[in-house]
Amino acid sequence: MKGLKIMSYCRITDASVIFYDREVVVYNPKDEDPWLLQIYKAKDIHYPKFHKMDNLCKAGFLGAEMVVNDDSQENKENWAVVTFNRSSSLDDDTSYQKTIENADNYFPAPSVFVYTLPNILSGEIAIRHKIMGESVHYITKEFSAERICEAFNDLASDGKIDTIVGGWAEYFQGHVDVLMLKVSVNEEDKQLLTINNILKLWKI
């Protein structure tokens, strides 16, 4: 059956990381490291820029790291990144506001300001994996498998994009909620990208 196929997926919540129906990392409350750093260390990832990212980018980055799982120099001109979330960059907006709201203690933080645009999430993923195609971020009121499916298929419809990395990446007030997918065109023996199949992965 032709169409976009789900090649890999990763589900990250406050409690665990699930990859291919298998729990691969479980939150350890006794670990002094923040949850996202626990995942980074558990997966033995080596990318120093991770430590400078905001939590939204860290969450999306970790999901993409697992679904792409590719250290090759493959040409990714026909790849794209599409991400969605609900709270935009509000987690960082709130932090940045604290640095400028008091005229007597005014200390704008460039390292925070740079993450007050949510599309930096898709940009960080594209940079990490050398993805040369379109990079876009959408803000929606809630998780929508229909919107994700529609956006992925729209990108692939003109035949220029054959692989897409993306999905839902939400981080706000200490809570993380991620469903990251890697989908490709016309692959055999893989699950078709449909609204129902996205919902099944979301509910894992």
Rounded-to-5 percentages of helix, strand, coil across the chain: 35, 25, 35
Model pLDDT for residues 42-81, shown as the tens digit of each residue? 999 999 999 999 999 999 999 999 999 765 667 899 999 9
The pair of three-digit structure tokens given for residue 136, joined into one six-digit string: 């876009």
Per-residue pLDDT, 147: 97
pLDDT band at 106 (very low <50, low <70, confident <90, very high): low
- pTM, rounded to two decimals: 0.90
Q: How many Å apart are CA 156 and CA 163, to the nearest integer?
A: 8
Q: How many Å apart are CA 78 and CA 24, to the nearest integer?
A: 30
Max CA pair span of the chain: 64
Residue with tokens 């220029």: 160
User: Bridge-partner residues for 183, per DSSP?
Assistant: 6, 164
Amino acid letter for position 60: G
Per-residue pLDDT, 85: 95
Domains of the chain listed by start with CATH number:
4-202 (3.40.47.10)
Neighbours of 174 (CB within 10 A): 10
